[in-house]
Amino acid sequence: MVSFDNADRGTAEAEWMLSDRWARIPTLDVSRDLAGIDRLVVVSAHPDDESLGVAGLIARAAASGWRLDVVVATDGEASHPLSPTVAPDDLALRRRDEVVIAVAALAPTAGVSFLGLPDADLRAHADDLRDHLSALGTGPDTLVVAPWRGDGHGDHRVAGTIAAAVAAVSGAVMLEYPVWMWHWAEPDSPEVPWARLSRFELTEAESRAKRAAIAAHESQHTPLSEAPGDEAVLSADFLTHFARSFETFVAPPQSESLGAHFFDTFYQGSDDPWGFETRWYESRKRDLTVASLPRRYFRSALEIGCSIGVLTERLTARCERLVAVDIAEKPLQRATERLRDEPSVRFELTDATHSLPTGPFDLIVLSEVGYYWSDDDLDGVLARIDAALTPDGVVVACHWRHPVSTYPGSGDAVHAALRARPGFAVLASHLEEDFVLEVFVRPPARSVATRAGLV
């Protein structure tokens, strides 16, 4: 659930401030950039997220007369798992009290909701968070702010993902705020979304209110006791990141491919987060995918986005050689273990938006992966597929059709792009409400019966 250690020293605030990138970061102007907004909904994965990441904006919204709701998903009861002095239930109550004090210092009339969902296991209760946010009735007059999805903490990813999905449906404006990124990342880290950052400059009164709000969370920045296991979670060095004269927000991606960090984080909470091994929906879809192959055997195949290798295992019976690639290391390890006794399969850690294994291939399988790519990256991958495909080659593509706000693309858009390429012709198409499955060959497309001489 967490890809960093809060006990590490982390990146010094001075190092962040020395970066010349700040000069190119635009300022978030409320009257200009948020014209028409008169409501703020703040989503916190844990008590204190709201004070660290967005306290200044809360104070500004309150002074401007906006309606305010602060939604705290978990009680943060897992912040001290080895504490010998404070039980998790008691710590949860204490942290709720701290939120009430902190928010009162920023916006005395704000509504505060405590959902009490399990700390460090928010993914399993994402629907509860979604239902609550949806019930708030956000709309185009609302700014929703939530933890940045790339923050390195599983609960932050879930909170940001759900908030973004609800905002997309209701038409609300969405911004995200980093918390732990300042600790584990460095200014030149590729994960830092500099191109989507903006600075929100604080007045002195807002800075004072923010300091008071952070101070209210004593359970996190002060040891619970002198006993081992009761150490402060938030170090003095870490808190310097939030003593700035500005707050930082991340705009949602417009069309940016999801990279390795997204999938590495996603697989932290589960070995099979999509239920490939357990859902009959997935089993049926695999049956249809394999049944759609227009030849009995293929000489050399490529599977892009193999995940834990469940479909890969089915493909081996139809392929003399198979190369299966994925962008994330953890699922590849499971796929390798699954097929450790199958010599015809080779696994590679590969980002398809950068390169593909050397072909040629007479079968390329693109299953549930194309919507993770931006339009430009999708075009690039399809061009590589076209170049790697043999003259008698087959491309099988299968994708989920329902919209997912965190994905830059959609299944229908992926298949529209495949259909638009002159090097591909549709041999077969299976369309359901949930997914689309299509088989592409080099033009002209000749049916299986035609090639077999039956017609």
pLDDT along the chain (455 residues), means of 10: 83 96 93 95 98 98 97 97 97 98 97 97 87 93 94 90 82 94 91 89 98 98 97 97 98 77 81 92 97 97 97 97 96 96 96 93 97 86 94 97 82 90 94 96 95 91
The burial class, CB within 10 Å (0-12 / 13-18 / 19+), for 9 is: exposed
Crossing angle of helices 88-106 and 204-215, in 10° steps, is 160
- Which run of H or of E encompasses 219? helix 218-221
Alpha-helix runs per DSSP H in 292-403? 310-315, 329-338, 375-388
Identify the CA nearest to 245 among candidates 206, 278, 187.
206
* Whether 161 contacts 174, CB under 8 Å: no
pLDDT at 273: 87
The size of the chain, in residues, is: 455
Quote the CA–CA distance of 222 and 286 in Å, as a whole number. Answer: 53
Identify the CA nearest to 394 among candidates 298, 316, 276, 263.
298
Phi, psi (degrees; rounded to nearest 5) at 438: -135, 150
pLDDT at 268: 79
Identify the CA nearest to 297 among candidates 392, 429, 389, 415.
392
- Angle, CA of 365, 406 and 383, to the nearest 5°: 35
The burial class, CB within 10 Å (0-12 / 13-18 / 19+), for 280 is: exposed
Distance of alpha carbon 333 from the chain centroid: 21
Type of residue found at 297: Y
pLDDT at 264: 84
Residue 189: partners with Cβ closer than 8 Å, 6 or more residues away: none
The burial class, CB within 10 Å (0-12 / 13-18 / 19+), for 259 is: middle
Identify the CA nearest to 143 among candidates 85, 93, 201, 70.
70
pTM of the model: 0.62
pLDDT at 347: 97
E runs forming strands in 4-97 = 39-44, 67-74
pLDDT at 150: 84
pLDDT at 1: 59
Whose tokens are 């605030």? That residue is 13
* Whether 187 contacts 15, CB under 8 Å: yes
The burial class, CB within 10 Å (0-12 / 13-18 / 19+), for 77 is: buried
- Angle, CA of 255, 258 and 260, to the nearest 5°: 155
In the numeric block, which tokens belong to residue 293? 């192959």
Identify the CA nearest to 164 among candidates 196, 206, 118.
196
* Whether 31 contacts 60, CB under 8 Å: no
